[in-house]
Amino acid sequence: MLCKKLFLASVLFFVLGTLPLIGSVGASLELWSQTYGGTGGDLAYSLVVTSDGGFALAGVSTSFGGFWLVKTDSYGNMQWNKTYGGGTAHSLIQTSDGGYALAGEIIPSGAAQDFYVVKTDADGNMQWSRTYGGEHTDIAHSLVETSDGGFAIAGHTGWLFQDFLLIKTDVDGNIMWNRTYGGNASDLAYSLVETSDRGYAIAGATQSFAGLWLVKTDAN
């Protein structure tokens, strides 16, 4: 009987001792953290895991000026960083050639905001940049590399009221076509995917129809 009581006491002691460990299994543990930037305002809006296991972050740097692209290793140690233009990058992808494409907004001298897209090589060196837009405010929020090797960019365009704007380009960023979708109030596109039928799905917010708005298109 004494042995049985000692055994049960040992089991109870083991269970109670492991409860804190069991409770922490589902918790997220911080492995590391890093900061990047200078004395100005530096903001990251988009993040991708790169093909080498590291990370790339894009946003805006007022410390260094313009679109800001930071490349790190798998522990967040900065390998390089680049700035482009004078705007804000909202979307970042790693492209099939190992480089990067960034989309956002830029304000040309004396004009309203335009879509701004930058394509780089694997080391962040700019290969080309393009602006798209007219006399109204045009802000890009999402970018994808398309199955034909080009790009599709979604955002919004307008002055008093905005519409979804979708632009399709070739591999060099030359416009193939553009389309707008909207109602009689502001409609803002924030996310874009290419679908299996080579069309597109665009998601955002709508005041025209009240709520979230999902638009599906064909390939054109």
pLDDT digits (tens, 9 = 90+) for 92-136: 999 999 999 999 999 886 678 999 999 999 999 999 999 999 889
Mean pLDDT, the chain, integer = 89
Rounded-to-integer distance, Cα 133 and Cα 105, Å:
10
Average pLDDT over residues 134-159: 96
Q: What is the dihedral of CA 125, 122, 147, 164, to 10 degrees?
A: -50
In total, the chain counts a number of residues equal to 220
User: Token pair of 220, please?
Assistant: 């054109």
Short-list 86, 77, 96, CA closest to 33: 77
Q: Does an H or E element contain 15, and which?
A: helix 2-24
Q: How many CB atoms lie within 10 A of CB 9?
A: 10
Tokens matching residue 42:
């530096």
Q: What percent of the chain has pLDDT over 90?
A: 78
81 Cβ neighbours under 8 A, 6+ residues apart: 36, 64, 68, 69, 70, 71, 124
- Listed by start position, the domains of the chain span 39-187
Q: Residue 186 has what pLDDT? A: 97
- pTM confidence score: 0.86
Kind and range of the H or E element at 23?
helix 2-24
Q: In the structure, what pLDDT confidence band is assigned to residue 25 with cuts at 50, 70 and 90?
A: low
pLDDT the model gives residue 5: 46
Q: Does domain 39-187 have CATH number 2.120.10.30?
A: yes
Q: Please give the share of the chain, as a percent, with pLDDT higher than 70.
A: 87
pLDDT of residue 42: 93
Which pLDDT value is given to residue 18? 46
Over range 47-73, report the average pLDDT. Answer: 95
Average pLDDT over residues 199-217: 97
Q: Are 219 and 198 in contact (CB under 8 A)?
A: yes
Query: Is the pLDDT higher at 65 or at 184?
Result: 184
Alpha-carbon distances of 196 from 48, 204, 218, rounded to whole Å: 22, 20, 10
Q: Indicate if the pLDDT at residue 40 is higher than 70.
A: yes
Written as one string, the DSSP assignment of 96-159 is TTS-EEEEEEE--TTS--EEEEEEE-TTS-EEEEEEE--SSEEEEEEEEE-TTS-EEEEEEEES
pLDDT, tens digit, for every residue of 66-76? 899 999 999 99
DSSP designation for 53: S
For residue 99, the model assigns a pLDDT of: 98
- Is 145's pLDDT higher than 80? yes
